[in-house]
Amino acid sequence: MTVKLANQPLNTINADLTLEFVTPQQLMAHPQKELLVRAGFKAEAEQSCTLHEHRLMVCGINEFSDELFRSAAANAIKTAMNYAYTSLKLAQYGQTHFKALIEGIVLGSYTFDSYKSEPKPSSLVEVIFSNEDTNGSDEDTNDLEKILAQSLIISKATNFVRNLVNQTPYDMTPQGMSVVAQSLAKSNSLECTILDVNGLQDEKMEAMIAVGRASIHPPRLIHLSYKPKNPKKVITLVGKGLTYDSGGLSLKGATSMVTMKMDKAGGCAVMGIIKAVSELELDIEVHAFVGAVENMIGGNAYKPDDVLRAKNGKTIEVRNTDAEGRLVLADVLGYAQEKVKSDFIFDYATLTGACMVALGPYTTGVMGHNEALKQEWITASEQSGEYSGILPFNRHLKKLIKSELADVCNVSSKPYGGAITAALFLDNFIDENMKEKWVHFDIAGSAYTESAWDVHTYGGTGAGVRMTLEWMMHSCK
């Protein structure tokens, strides 16, 4: 679907369908009030009504805010895609809301039908924004073009991540993720380094090797780099890329194994972020590291009671092989800090079901030592349209991952605060000089959905992409 801007009044744009957003108060003065009310339309949030004889779709919105415009636009475009119309037009609702409307349309229109034998494409192929505001004034076209270009890059990067997450474990193996990374590097002029098992052994990344040992698809460490001239900041991103997680010998239940293709969402997110950064041409040097691994069972699988030595030399007592993502991240974090001296390091992982228990299925858990930095991310999350919440560290929870055999245990001794104790485990693999510059994002709840909500359809959501780009564009000036 093409989204474009027309420098002309709305009524002169040739399109099959006009989209309007109306509050309950505005409904009372609407020219088609009688027909709309007769159809049961009350302008409630996300309620829509299409007057086909007038080629008009009206969508309810409680108030003019980015969050509600984004959600309403997504709902409207999903409805319009079910019609036979090929084009849709709409006016501006103030320049400040333009980005939210674009994101609602691009993200809301996302479909993933690669595995359908007979895909059913929508007839709707074009969305046209007028530069004319609903009050009849004209918005600055140059400013609108910049917002459109930026918003399309961010939205398409989010959909790029959704596509990767939605691919099956048969198709998207660790090697498959490497191929995607190499292709991305070529198309976006990025540097790309990939380590195979021999490379991981040379780097003494025993924990990551152990997790992937029982799979016929050997692990890969992916490092993508974007290096502009004279960058203002250097940022390291680390993503958990479990292309499939069976739980290992601590085998998951059958129902828990379904959707485990989403366990690579953190690795996919960092690739989507660096894709957008390079296309936005931000003055930030970005390094994206992905630990791509498959956690399976077999005679050579790693076991509960094993003790593994991580990249930074610390030893880990394994008490549950389903707590594998943190083992992979332990090594990748160590490798990333050794290879790149950065201003900040952020990791993204579908790490714990406990984060969903704490924050619900829509919200990313934000953890780290730097309170001011975490608050910056909460703000960036709100402004981008993602949801996040801070889960606090404390010294008593840290005691729960103490090991009598090794330096640290990979799971807590008590079934409480699981998202926080997982992050505190990762803290063991953050260098002392980076403690205040590190933030951990648990996207276990926010990265995948089995029911549509907001701008999201079934499957991967691209969690982390929009909020990270928002933070970068406003905090790395």
- Give mean pLDDT, residues 282-300: 98
Q: Which of 156, 233, 252, 398 is catalytic?
A: 252
What was the pLDDT predicted at 441? 98
Cα 188–Cα 103–Cα 113 angle in degrees, nearest 5: 75
Does one domain contain both 430 and 317?
Answer: yes
What was the pLDDT predicted at 46? 84
Does one domain contain both 434 and 313?
Answer: yes
What is the share, in percent, of the chain residues with pLDDT greater than 90?
Answer: 99
User: In the structure, what pLDDT confidence band is assigned to residue 256 with cuts at 50, 70 and 90?
Assistant: very high
Residue 62 makes CB contacts below 8 A (sequence gap 6+) with 23, 24, 44, 45, 68
Does one domain contain both 65 and 36?
Answer: yes
Answer for the pair 467, 380: CB distance below 8 angstroms, yes or no.
Answer: yes
Of 90, 107, 137, the one marking the end of a domain is 137
Asked if residue 45 is part of any domain, the answer here is yes
Is 326 catalytic? The answer is: yes
Phi, psi of 178 (to 5 degrees): -65, -40
Does one domain contain both 127 and 169?
Answer: no
User: In the structure, what pLDDT confidence band is assigned to residue 328 with cuts at 50, 70 and 90?
Assistant: very high
- Give mean pLDDT, residues 326-334: 98
Cα 162–Cα 164–Cα 170 angle in degrees, nearest 5: 135
Asked if residue 179 is part of any domain, the answer here is yes
Give residue 98's domain range: 2-137
What was the pLDDT predicted at 214? 98
What is the share, in percent, of the chain residues with pLDDT greater than 70?
Answer: 100
Of 137, 164, 193, the one marking the end of a domain is 137
pLDDT at 300 over 90: yes
Q: Report how many domains make up the chain.
A: 2
What was the pLDDT predicted at 66? 96
Does one domain contain both 264 and 198?
Answer: yes
| pLDDT tens readout for residues 165-219 | 999 999 999 999 999 999 999 999 999 999 999 999 999 999 999 999 999 999 9
Count of Cβ atoms closer than 10 Å to residue 228 Cβ? 14
Q: Rounded distance, CA 209 to CA 310, Å?
A: 10
The CATH number of the domain holding residue 88 is: 3.40.220.10
| pLDDT tens readout for residues 436-449 | 999 999 999 999 99
What is the DSSP track for 46-106? T-EEEEGGGTEEEEE-SS--HHHHHHHHHHHHHHHTTSS--EEEEEES-GGGHHHHHHHHH
Does one domain contain both 184 and 60?
Answer: no
- Give mean pLDDT, residues 119-125: 94
Name the average pLDDT for the chain: 97
Q: Give the helix/strand (H/E) hosting 265.
A: helix 265-280
Considering the entire predicted model, what is its pTM?
0.97
Q: Rounded distance, CA 374 to CA 365, Å?
A: 10
Of 103, 137, 171, the one marking the end of a domain is 137
What was the pLDDT predicted at 475? 82
Q: HEC string of 112-154?
A: CCCCCCCCCCCCCCEEEEEEEECCCCECCHHHHHHHHHHHHHH
| pLDDT tens readout for residues 345-379 | 999 999 999 999 999 999 999 999 999 999 999 99
- Give mean pLDDT, residues 421-449: 98
Rg over alpha carbons for the chain, rounded to the nearest Å, is: 24
Does one domain contain both 347 and 425?
Answer: yes
| pLDDT tens readout for residues 374-384 | 999 999 999 99
**Secondary structure (3-state) at 377:** helix
What was the pLDDT predicted at 477? 74
Asked if residue 146 is part of any domain, the answer here is no
pLDDT at 476 over 90: no
Q: Rounded distance, CA 76 to CA 46, Å?
A: 8
Does one domain contain both 252 and 397?
Answer: yes
Closest C-alpha to 121, from 90, 84, 150: 84
Q: Which of 99, 326, 374, 437 is catalytic?
A: 326
Does one domain contain both 299 and 211?
Answer: yes
What was the pLDDT predicted at 10? 97
Does one domain contain both 318 and 430?
Answer: yes
Strand order in the sheet with 220-226: 191-195, 220-226, 284-295, 233-245, 344-349, 438-442, 363-368, 387-390
Does one domain contain both 466 and 367?
Answer: yes
Q: Rounded distance, CA 32 to CA 76, Å?
A: 18
User: In the structure, what pLDDT confidence band is assigned to residue 73 with cuts at 50, 70 and 90?
Assistant: very high
Does one domain contain both 56 and 101?
Answer: yes
Output the CA–CA distances (angstroms, integers) from residue 323 to 101, 249, 436, in the order listed: 39, 11, 25
Answer for the pair 449, 364: CB distance below 8 angstroms, yes or no.
Answer: no
